[in-house]
């Protein structure tokens, strides 16, 4: 069965002015859709038959090379859109605040760590809040398509730092895109849901 492109959880213009409708249209409609289409095409090849009944998560955990990269990029983008919200809900709940204070000293401490990881990720990749194998919350960056599940970590929230995610709106100023995410767009409810899993 083919994988399908998820529905965006908000209208394409809902993140303006932080992320433009044009960026969301290309990012979702071309890049994200492209990964879904290429993954489906790759899985139809006879040599990949053993992967045809796998879930997306199983592909991320078990596949290598091209299928891994495509499956991880679909998974990562599904998670990215859910990590965003249209600036309606700017404060983390007490539960989230307590978890972040315990690990990072304060909510601002979390934001600072996340900004460092997202800024320092060289080239294309992702910044993540994850829970590691010991249950500790940490911030980390991954390169290209790499998903933290491959490293035994559980994703809690993510930011896409590939240039296609911000270049139309911010050009080379990745820092302002990261700030917009941390101050206006981060979906605290999604983060909380993943914390409580
Ligand atoms: Mn992307």
Ligand 1 midpoint to CA 26 (Å):
10
Ligand 1 midpoint to CA 45 (Å):
25
φ, ψ for residue 4, nearest 5 deg: -115, 155
Residue closest to 48 by CA, chosen among 29, 26, 32, 65: 65
Structure pTM? 0.97
Ligand 1 midpoint to CA 84 (Å):
13
Ligand 1 midpoint to CA 80 (Å):
8
Place of tokens 């590691």: 132
Ligand 1 midpoint to CA 105 (Å):
30
Ligand 1 midpoint to CA 102 (Å):
31
pLDDT in tens for each of the 197 residues of the chain? Answer: 799 999 999 999 999 999 999 999 999 999 999 999 999 999 999 999 999 999 999 999 999 999 999 999 999 999 999 999 998 888 999 999 999 999 999 999 999 999 999 999 999 999 999 999 999 999 999 999 999 999 999 999 999 999 999 999 999 999 999 999 999 999 999 999 999 98
Ligand 1 midpoint to CA 82 (Å):
13
Q: Exposed/middle/buried for 196, CB within 10 Å: 0-12, 13-18, 19+? A: exposed
Ligand 1 midpoint to CA 69 (Å):
12
Ligand 1 midpoint to CA 144 (Å):
10
Ligand 1 midpoint to CA 133 (Å):
26
Ligand 1 midpoint to CA 34 (Å):
10
Ligand 1 midpoint to CA 74 (Å):
9
C-alpha 194/C-alpha 124 separation (Å) is 25
Confidence (pLDDT) at 78: 98
Strand ranges (E), the chain:
125-131, 137-143, 154-160
Ligand 1 midpoint to CA 23 (Å):
10
């Amino acid at each position: 069965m083919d994988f399908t492109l998820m529905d965006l959880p908000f209208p394409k213009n809902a993140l303006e002015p932080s992320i433009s409708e044009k960026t969301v249209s290309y990012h979702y409609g071309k890049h994200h859709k492209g990964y879904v289409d290429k993954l489906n095409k790759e899985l139809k090849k006879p040599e990949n038959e053993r992967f045809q009944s796998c879930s997306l998560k199983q592909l991320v955990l078990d596949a290598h090379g091209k299928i891994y990269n495509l499956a991880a990029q679909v998974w990562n983008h599904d998670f990215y859109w859910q990590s965003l919200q249209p600036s309606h809900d700017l404060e983390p709940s007490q539960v989230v605040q307590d978890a972040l204070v315990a690990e990072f000293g304060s909510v601002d401490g979390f934001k600072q760590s996340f900004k460092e990881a997202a800024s320092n990720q060289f080239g294309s990749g992702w910044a993540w809040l994850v829970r590691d194998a010991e249950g500790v919350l940490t911030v980390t960056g991954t390169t290209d398509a790499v998903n933290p599940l491959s490293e035994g970590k559980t994703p809690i929230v993510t930011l896409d730092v590939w240039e296609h995610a911000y270049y139309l709106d911010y050009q080379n100023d990745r820092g302002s895109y990261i700030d917009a995410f941390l101050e206006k767009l981060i979906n605290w409810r999604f983060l909380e849901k993943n914390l409580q899993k």
